[in-house]
Amino acid sequence: MTNDPLLKVTGLRTHFSSEHGTVKAVDGVDFQIERGGILGVVGESGSGKSVTGLSILRLLGSRNATIAGGQILFHGEDLLTKSDREMREIRGKKISMVFQNAMTALDPFFRVGDQLVEVIRLHQRVGKREAKLKALEAMELVRIPEASRRLSSYPHQLSGGQRQRVMIALALSCGPDLLIADEPTTALDATVQKQIIDLLAEVNRELGTAILMITHDFGVVARLCRTVAVMYAGKIVESGEVARVLEKPEDPYTQKLLGSVLRMRSEVRRVSA
Amino acid sequence: MTTATLTQPAATAWRRRSQFRLATRALARDKVAVGALVVLTLVVLVAIFAPLISPYDPLVGDPTIRLLPPGTPGHLLGLDGQGRDILSRLIWGGRYSLSVAIVPVLCAGVVALVLGMVAGYFGGRWGELVMRVLDVVFAFPIVLFAIAIAAVLGPGLVNSMLAIGITLVPYMARVVYTATVQESGKDYVEAARAAGLTEVEILGKQLLPNVLSPLVVYATTLAGLVIVLAAGLSFLGVGITPPAPDWGVMTSDGRQVLLEGYAHVATIPGLMIFIVAIAFNLLGDGIRDALDPHKQTGSRN
Amino acid sequence: MSARDVLVDVRDLRKVYRTPGTFGKGTEFVAVHGATFQVNRGETFGLIGESGSGKTTIGRMLLRLLEPTSGYIEFDGYEVLTLTRPRLRALRRRMQIVFQDSGSAFNPRLSVGEQVAYPMRKFGLHPKGEVKARVIELLEKVGLHAEQAQRYPHEFSGGQRQRLGIARALAAQPDLVVLDEPTSALDVSVQGQILALLREIQAERGLTLVLISHNLAVIQHMCDRAAVLHNGEIVEQAPVDELFGSPRSEVTRELLDAVLEPVLP
């Protein structure tokens, strides 16, 4: 039982209907994540990587998108067969998600601390005071300086990096088994990006939270992930251990993608690895 | 470089696809909007050719046959309280109602365009001042404001148009101002500056097309409102006065005999106002979509 | 190095944003503070920094698309900041800018061909009848097709729009082109193509480039010299190899540190 993967996706297909016909955003995708594992899903724009993440949590909305087929086994249970109410129990509590733009993901009208408390009380039966303590814990976990003061800040008063940390705190506040991160650092400065990536690595080490990292950046994958899947046009063209894929990519698209990444020349002096 | 051979065939490969043509084609695909346009065109044509189409004189009535219902032989829509043929009055009334809807909107639109663009583009203290002055109008409900001005100016078709036109300027100017401010900050305006365009050229060639679109859409919707507004002014006696066959006047006249049980006198012109207002609204929706560059053509090359 | 070789001379450039407060208690934000640097003819000069460092502000002030609060800018012997509007417009032909593809770099309601043609028409670079042909020539130079001239901006992908931006900048036949984050909004596989195109065009036309970017790999690939900006100030400037090989400023070291390479450490 404990050897089963935490998340196992088989044959996932997500289709969008548009005026030009059906778009197969995700077209038969298989992958899995172990307990405490970190999987990177890499692709360019339009590859279907974000849609894959949204499909797992069934966050696509029913207007043009339908999950046309496949199986998403989480702790052995198929998420695609669950009711809305059951999914709401899972979202935020068992599987959480952080997005690229924290400014739009956080409610601008409410203080950060209040938003944390709200999520905590939603999923756990705790009183207000205990929820506040947990909120403070979450903020400290993500290493926001002066955490107790920041609880009473509004989102727009925080920097981009701090907002992203708050989003991660929100996502982790109920101790989920899996965190889906959709390009969480793309809009951030490089120095901040590194801090956030390292924070996620620390969270994975300390709490054992598995991470599904959706990104276009192989550098992020190299630094954070243990396994990687490369997506193109809705399909996974290559997957495996990060070390192997980066050093000996077998699929021509992966080779092309890795080849076109601009690298710094090796005589550059680096302070730390 | 093969410059000489390049000119002829390649230059013709670049056809000028004007915004106007693209917009009309996109509009033609929208059935609802086309339907609304057909309705409005009909109404306009009927109003223009009123002398030829109208079966009777709209101002002459025969009291002996007053209040006969629709379907009376010779009088398709019946007669009003003074024995005048309702259909004829409806046909002639189009001239009043349509002009009071279209003329103020057009005039106010031009004024608003100039005010809004200058205030929005050059901004600064003067721009803010102009907009604040116009903002005073927003403190009043639009209908109340129009009534107040109409009362000051006095009754009549021209005064009605003036009152409504004045009332509309701040609303339209605000739409233009917001659009101008938004567009002014965009990179393509800076690119135009870098290309050496003068400020006036930027206003006219770069900003105008982008500002005109929301304004045209807004104006079409306003036209629908204005018809009702004008009818309301006439209804209250501060707009067009009887015996003019304006639809609003007709509705007001009909109110008196409503209590006597004759519904058709007020309802028919009321229905006409309703239909035209809705047609303007639907057309406005269609125009908004047709002017959206994304919808005009495909999305990716 | 003779004075002729310096194309752009910037001294003590400063930009302060003031928000007027009530009763005169407004706030001041110093976006750029005492920037001094030179760009040599024919070279590619980099402006490196994170968001809010002031690099974009400097880029725009170079073309005087943004008025500096104080400072001195000389372009090929002309004092840019004291020029009258008509003379500035004439000088504008020689310095152009390519924006980051923010989706608003092109007017959504005009065809791209028209927009690329604007500099040509405005500066009277070609006889009227020839303009269209020249536009098509430029489009093909940047890797697009003649037929696409009549299309609207939203019909193109990000990479294609970036090429259009380059074409538009080249239409004026400038001496200097400022590139504001030319590859940041693009997919990885497209970035290399755009940079290669820029290098090709630069070599052909002897252009001087100012490249603004937060991506150090791009800077290293393209630039001869670069300045590192932090909080509106230039903290270090040097030839790129020296800058990255033996950085002197803490800021530069941190930036180098933050580069995530697609190789395992």
Which segments in chain C show pLDDT lower than 70? Answer: 1-4, 21-25
Q: Where are the beta strands (DSSP E) in chain B?
A: none
| pTM reported for the whole predicted model | 0.83
Contact B16 C150 (CB under 8 A): yes
Q: Which of A200, A258, A268, A271 to mutate to test the interface with C (most CBs of C within 10 A)?
A: A268
CB-count exposure of residue C96 (10 Å: 0-12, 13-18, 19+): buried
Residue of A nearest to C258 (CA): A191
In three-state secondary structure terms, A173 is coil
Contact A57, A97 (CB under 8 A): yes
Contact C255 A191 (CB under 8 A): yes
Our CA-based measurement puts residue A131 at a distance from the nearest CA of chain C, in whole angstroms, of 35
C197 to chain A, any CB pair closer than 8 A? The answer is: no
pLDDT at A268: 54
Residue of A nearest to C253 (CA): A271
Q: Which candidate from C95, C156, C168 shows the least CB-CB separation from B191?
A: C168
Contact A187, A161 (CB under 8 A): no
Our CA-based measurement puts residue B35 at a distance from the nearest CA of chain C, in whole angstroms, of 26
With bands split at pLDDT 50, 70 and 90, how would you rate the model's confidence at B16? low
B209 to chain C, any CB pair closer than 8 A? The answer is: yes
The span from the CA of A37 to the CA of A53, in Å, is: 16
pLDDT at A54: 92
Q: Which candidate from B11, B17, B298 shows the least CB-CB separation from C132?
A: B11
Which of 240-279 (B) contact C at CB < 8 A? none
Which of 118-157 (A) contact C at CB < 8 A? none
Average pLDDT over residues B293-299: 63
Residue of B nearest to C148 (CA): B14
Whether pLDDT at B300 is above 50: no
The span from the CA of B97 to the CA of B248, in Å, is: 8
Average pLDDT over residues B15-42: 83
Cα dihedral C141, C144, C145, C150 sign: negative
pLDDT at C219: 94
Residue of C nearest to B210 (CA): C109
* Phi and psi angles of residue C68, each rounded to the nearest 5 degrees, phi first: -70, 155
pLDDT at C206: 93
Residue of C nearest to B198 (CA): C89
List CB contacts (< 8 A) between A218 and chain C.
Answer: 188, 262
pLDDT at A45: 87
CB-CB neighbours of C119 under 10 Å: 25
The span from the CA of A54 to the CA of A259, in Å, is: 29
Average pLDDT over residues B105-132: 88
In three-state secondary structure terms, A32 is strand
Whether pLDDT at B298 is above 70: no
Whether pLDDT at B6 is above 50: no
pLDDT at B8: 45
The residue that leads in pLDDT, B68 or C224, is: C224
Residue of B nearest to C166 (CA): B191
Residue of B nearest to C121 (CA): B195
Q: Where are the beta strands (DSSP E) in chain C?
A: 6-19, 27-40, 44-48, 70-75, 78-79, 95-98, 176-180, 208-213, 225-230, 233-239
Contact C261 A264 (CB under 8 A): yes
pLDDT at B17: 66
Please report how the helices B264-290 and B247-258 are oriented relative to each other, as an axis angle in degrees rounded to 10: 140
Per-residue pLDDT of chain A (273 residues), as tens digits, is 457 899 999 999 999 988 778 889 999 999 999 999 999 999 998 899 999 999 999 888 767 888 889 999 999 899 999 998 999 889 988 999 999 887 778 888 899 999 989 888 888 888 889 999 989 988 988 888 888 888 888 988 888 888 899 999 989 988 899 999 999 988 888 889 999 999 999 999 999 999 999 999 999 999 999 999 999 999 999 999 999 999 999 999 999 999 888 888 765 555 444
- Looking at this predicted complex, what is its ipTM? 0.83
pLDDT at C24: 61
B4 to chain C, any CB pair closer than 8 A? The answer is: no
pLDDT at B3: 41
Contact B188 C149 (CB under 8 A): no
Q: Which candidate from C50, C188, C216 shows the least CB-CB separation from A257?
A: C188
CB under 8 A, 24+ apart: contacts of B238-241: B238/B147, B238/B150, B238/B151, B238/B155, B239/B100, B239/B150, B239/B155, B239/B160, B239/B163, B240/B96, B240/B100, B240/B155, B240/B156, B240/B157, B240/B160, B241/B155, B241/B156
Our CA-based measurement puts residue C133 at a distance from the nearest CA of chain A, in whole angstroms, of 33
pLDDT at A188: 86
Contact C260 A271 (CB under 8 A): no
Contact A267 C263 (CB under 8 A): no
How do strand C44-48 and strand C208-213 relate by DSSP bridges?
parallel
The residue that leads in pLDDT, B137 or A97, is: A97
Our CA-based measurement puts residue C231 at a distance from the nearest CA of chain A, in whole angstroms, of 13
Residue of C nearest to A267 (CA): C245
* Structure token digits, residue B204: 């006219």
Whether pLDDT at B301 is above 50: no
* Structure token digits, residue B287: 């125009």
pLDDT at A50: 92
Q: Which candidate from B3, B192, B299 shows the least CB-CB separation from C154?
A: B299
Residue type, C104: S
Q: Which candidate from C187, C220, C257 shows the least CB-CB separation from A265?
A: C220
Our CA-based measurement puts residue C225 at a distance from the nearest CA of chain A, in whole angstroms, of 15
The C-alpha torsion from A122 through A126 and A131 to A133, rounded to 10°, is: -150
Contact B293 C108 (CB under 8 A): yes
With bands split at pLDDT 50, 70 and 90, how would you rate the model's confidence at B2? very low
* Structure token digits, residue B62: 């025969």
Q: Which of C91, C109, C138, C160 to mutate to test the interface with B (most CBs of B within 10 A)?
A: C109
pLDDT at C22: 61
List CB contacts (< 8 A) between C89 and chain B.
Answer: 196, 198
Contact C244 A45 (CB under 8 A): no
Q: Which candidate from C111, C133, C156 shows the least CB-CB separation from B301?
A: C156
pLDDT at B51: 87
* Structure token digits, residue B79: 């007669």
Residue A180 β-bridge partners: A97, A212
List CB contacts (< 8 A) between B17 and chain C.
Answer: 111, 150
